Chains A and B, each alone.
Chain A
């Protein structure tokens, strides 16, 4: 049995390592996925006022900071029994939506496309694998040109968000109580001009490019299929009564089911933690145990009904009924396009609902005590913050990010994480250029700055981080 180690996996946020073993026919027999950075955010949040969390948790990820601020703000608001007014909800939708558009464009063009084309013949675009490049020179040139024009579109999505958020990355004003911007008529028009440009790019360039990819690589509808279980917490309020553009739900064997937060537990048999495994996030504890026998990652394994579930755009559009083809590398790319197309059009509607000069913020102050969760979606999937407050200070904070679901290690029952499962069985044509593995990993859009299970509030220091291949 031979081994392939990819460390680092580039073109994603953060530090990720993938290792697989191949059988005699060069099919992946086993796979491990590990995050390589540990940052200790949950401990850092302790004894701070709850309003600090929206600012600090955004700094978990510069690619999708907005959903962290929204999840954190929602948790505080839930303790206070408060929901922002329509103006506040629409402003959050527009800022979070802009972050989705930026992240989605970046993912397709700048993080994924180089797995399928040879980019410009200069650094940093040289040195990639040249295995299985299927586009002719003309199409390669077209996609390369779009790679460059997409740099402008993703930048514009950030600029659009900044009109209402102050800046990106790391929005200035998404806080418990709403959003503090007071959008003027001029700013609303400015936002719309940006939105029109981005919508036009999505409906023309992006649509044709993703279809071209799906056509040239149609076999990738059968690669990286994984478990087929999908999970979403739901996102984008369409009114003040809790209706969502993309509702919460689960998908098992193609069938949509209801989502219940109570079914989430985290396991850590294969993670560097000695604390009890199988706890709900609100009551879980985390005691570091570097070098623990059999463990190979700092990520825990969040599971739903003790089963691995995949998070991301595919989960959202399947549950909402907008796309129900299958679960695979190419379905993940198609789902992202379908979602962005729907999102950008709904952002036009939300923009219409803004009232110039009206406030979307209520000064609710900090809660004195209580516990609540804040659930929403990042571009790459379900994100949850679990907050406890005591004497007006954070006494407990737990975060489960999308990449925790996707890039988790085996759970206590030995079920591999979703990315690991998606890798297993993959045929690698040339082990010296295992581009198939990159295509699978990138289709999940991993973000390991946020994936590393930041530690629990019991204050145990984790002093070491290790890379240890799974011994096979």
Chain B
């Protein structure tokens, strides 16, 4: 359910007057655009907020200021939102009900399950602690699209690394058969900002993109790092820190599907291999292996 423009403007004028702020019609028009843009609810489970931070770093296709002001309406995001405590949890509940069947649910981090459900509590609703596990079950089926942001949400990742005593499960396994559309796994530790934001825009504009067998968009996860690595034809070197190909010291690039060589990171300022360390395979369902990477101990 969306409020119409006139109602919104009326409400905005009242709010501005109540707060004794100066009226700015241009700004209200921008607000109007944003409030009617597709709503997003972002939940953080067992993770590090790295995917949130990575998303804040987006520059391609646009910057986060533009995304938040003009492209989506972020209804719940515990890292950014003004509301706290009870009013934050009310905002979550209200958004899910008001936009039932329309919103995009982004889940960052894995989800402690089984006997460990209480290892991650996202807040209290009506005085009752809401576990991440129950929150995903509660809001996942109401969402139009569900996006697993990062490798923890997609595959368990570091959150579920052995021995996984916190019983972490993935978004896809928890919501199997319960969502309107297939869960989209945006692997990466953290998720690449372009993959994250462009996928949100793709969902809004065209729907669920083509997915591979791990539910990753084939648009980004169709080539191994090695197959397009700019160092593929360079001399193989025997340790990190030297310029060259790291295939013989355990680089995960040959088996890892990832857009890193083309998208790179942080406005294309770098990526792992460019900084002279082999790919550790962070977009892979197996990440993190033990050892993370079998770099030879030197020579």
Identify which of residues 43-102 in chain B touch chain A, using a CB-to-CB cut-off of 8 Å.
Answer: 44, 46-54, 56-57, 59, 63-65, 68-69, 73-89, 91
Q: Is the CB of A44 within 8 A of B241?
A: no
With most chain A CB atoms within 10 A of its CB, the pick from B57, B81, B82, B159 is B82
Q: Assuming the A-B contacts A13-B79, A123-B75, are A165 and B275 also in contact, with contact meaning beta carbons closer than 8 angstroms in the complex?
A: yes
With most chain A CB atoms within 10 A of its CB, the pick from B46, B51, B243 is B46
Report chain B residues within 8 Å CB of A122.
31, 34-35, 69, 73
Report chain B residues within 8 Å CB of A151.
56, 63-65
Identify which of residues 115-158 in chain A touch chain B, using a CB-to-CB cut-off of 8 Å.
Answer: 118-130, 133, 137-138, 140-141, 148, 151-152, 154-155, 158
Of the listed stretches B139-147, B176-184, B195-203, B264-272, name the one at the interface; the rest are far from the partner chain: B264-272
Query: How far is A62 from B129 in the complex, measured between Cα atoms in Å?
Result: 25
Q: Is the CB of A126 within 8 A of B82?
A: yes
Contact of A168 among B79, B239, B266 (CB under 8 A): B266
Interface flag for A8 (CB, 8 Å): yes
Q: Is the CB of A169 within 8 A of B54?
A: yes
Of the listed stretches B14-22, B205-213, B215-223, B225-233, name the one at the interface; the rest are far from the partner chain: B14-22
Of the listed stretches A214-222, A251-259, A356-364, A406-414, name the one at the interface; the rest are far from the partner chain: A356-364
Q: Assuming the A-B contacts A8-B88, A55-B292, A127-B88, are A121 and B31 also in contact, with contact meaning beta carbons closer than 8 angstroms in the complex?
A: yes
Interface flag for B173 (CB, 8 Å): no
**What is the 8 Å Cβ interface bit string for chain A, positions 40-64, against chain B (1 contact, 0 not)?**
1001100111011001100111110
Report chain B residues within 8 Å CB of A465.
112, 116, 118-121
Q: Is the CB of A38 within 8 A of B190?
A: no
Q: Is the CB of A182 within 8 A of B65?
A: no
Interface flag for A15 (CB, 8 Å): yes
Report chain A residues within 8 Å CB of B78.
8, 10-11, 15
Interface flag for A430 (CB, 8 Å): no
Q: Is the CB of A181 within 8 A of B276?
A: yes
Q: Assuming the A-B contacts A59-B189, A159-B266, A465-B118, are A127 and B81 also in contact, with contact meaning beta carbons closer than 8 angstroms in the complex?
A: yes
Interface flag for B137 (CB, 8 Å): no
Report chain B residues within 8 Å CB of A61.
48-50
Report chain A residues within 8 Å CB of B158.
44, 56, 59
Interface flag for B124 (CB, 8 Å): yes
Q: Assuming the A-B contacts A61-B49, A62-B48, are A114 and B82 also in contact, with contact meaning beta carbons closer than 8 angstroms in the complex?
A: yes
Q: Is the CB of B270 within 8 A of A363?
A: no
Query: How far is A39 from B288 in the complex, measured between Cα atoms in Å?
Result: 15
Report chain A residues within 8 Å CB of B271.
166-167, 172
Of all chain B residues, which has the CB nearest A48? Answer: B290
Q: Is the CB of A461 within 8 A of B165?
A: yes
Q: How far is the CB of A363 from chain B (nearest CB, A)?
A: 4
Report chain B residues within 8 Å CB of A121.
12, 15-16, 27-28, 31
Q: Is the CB of A15 within 8 A of B292?
A: no
Contact of B50 among A43, A59, A177 (CB under 8 A): A59
Q: Is the CB of B69 within 8 A of A40?
A: no
Q: Is the CB of B85 within 8 A of A48?
A: no
Q: Is the CB of B162 within 8 A of A44?
A: yes
Q: How far is the CB of B75 from chain A (nearest CB, A)?
A: 5
**What is the 8 Å Cβ interface bit string for chain B, positions 129-172, against chain A (1 contact, 0 not)?**
10000000000000000000000000001110111011100000
Identify which of residues 457-472 in chain A touch chain B, using a CB-to-CB cut-off of 8 Å.
Answer: 459, 461-467
Interface flag for B122 (CB, 8 Å): yes
Report chain A residues within 8 Å CB of B75.
123-124
Q: Is the CB of B122 within 8 A of A15?
A: yes
Q: Assuming the A-B contacts A61-B49, A167-B266, are A6 and B240 also in contact, with contact meaning beta carbons closer than 8 angstroms in the complex?
A: no
Report chain A residues within 8 Å CB of B83.
10, 126-128
Contact of B84 among A120, A438, A455 (CB under 8 A): A438
Report chain A residues within 8 Å CB of B239.
363
Q: Is the CB of B277 within 8 A of A56?
A: no
Q: Is the CB of A463 within 8 A of B241?
A: no
Q: How far is the CB of B101 from chain A (nearest CB, A)?
A: 19
Query: How far is A63 from B48 in the complex, measured between Cα atoms in Å?
Result: 8
Interface flag for A7 (CB, 8 Å): yes
Query: How far is A172 from B266 in the complex, measured between Cα atoms in Å?
Result: 13
Q: Assuming the A-B contacts A118-B19, A123-B73, A141-B22, are A180 and B276 also in contact, with contact meaning beta carbons closer than 8 angstroms in the complex?
A: yes
Interface flag for A162 (CB, 8 Å): yes
Contact of B118 among A140, A155, A466 (CB under 8 A): A466
Interface flag for A110 (CB, 8 Å): yes
Interface flag for B115 (CB, 8 Å): yes
Query: How far is A56 from B276 in the complex, measured between Cα atoms in Å?
Result: 19
Query: How far is A118 from B121 in the complex, measured between Cα atoms in Å?
Result: 28
Contact of B49 among A14, A40, A123, A152 (CB under 8 A): A14
Q: How far is the CB of B61 from chain A (nearest CB, A)?
A: 15
Q: Is the CB of B79 within 8 A of A11?
A: yes
Q: Is the CB of B272 within 8 A of A118?
A: no
With most chain B CB atoms within 10 A of its CB, the pick from A51, A140, A148, A155 is A155
Q: How far is the CB of B1 from chain A (nearest CB, A)?
A: 15
Report chain A residues within 8 Å CB of B186.
none
Report chain A residues within 8 Å CB of B298.
363-365
Query: How far is A361 from B277 in the complex, measured between Cα atoms in Å?
Result: 11
Q: Is the CB of B48 within 8 A of A366?
A: no
Interface flag for B285 (CB, 8 Å): no
Query: How far is A164 from B269 in the complex, measured between Cα atoms in Å?
Result: 9
Q: Is the CB of B163 within 8 A of A43?
A: yes
Q: How far is the CB of A464 from chain B (nearest CB, A)?
A: 5
Interface flag for A104 (CB, 8 Å): no
Q: Is the CB of B64 within 8 A of A155?
A: yes
Report chain A residues within 8 Å CB of B165.
40, 43, 455, 461-463
Query: How far is A365 from B271 in the complex, measured between Cα atoms in Å?
Result: 23
Q: Assuming the A-B contacts A6-B84, A166-B272, are A36 and B120 also in contact, with contact meaning beta carbons closer than 8 angstroms in the complex?
A: yes
Q: Is the CB of A56 within 8 A of B68?
A: no
Report chain B residues within 8 Å CB of A15.
44, 78, 120-122
| Chain A residues engaging chain B, CB cutoff 8 angstroms | 5-15, 17, 36-40, 43-44, 47-49, 51-52, 55-56, 59-63, 65, 106, 110, 114, 118-130, 133, 137-138, 140-141, 148, 151-152, 154-155, 158-173, 175, 177-178, 180-182, 190, 359, 361, 363-366, 438, 449, 455, 459, 461-467
| Chain B residues engaging chain A, CB cutoff 8 angstroms | 12, 15-16, 19-22, 27-28, 31, 34-35, 39, 44, 46-54, 56-57, 59, 63-65, 68-69, 73-89, 91, 112, 115-116, 118-124, 129, 157-159, 161-163, 165-167, 189-190, 239-241, 243, 265-267, 269-277, 280, 282, 288, 290-292, 295, 297-299
4 smallest A-B Cβ distances: which pairs? Answer: A62-B50, A128-B82, A166-B275, A127-B83
Apart from the given pairs A48-B290, A49-B291, A173-B272, 7 other A-B contacts in the complex at a CB distance below 8 Å: A5-B124, A8-B123, A11-B82, A127-B88, A152-B63, A159-B267, A363-B240
CB-defined A-B contacts under 8 Å, sample of 10: A8-B123, A9-B84, A15-B44, A37-B119, A133-B19, A140-B21, A166-B274, A363-B297, A365-B298, A461-B165
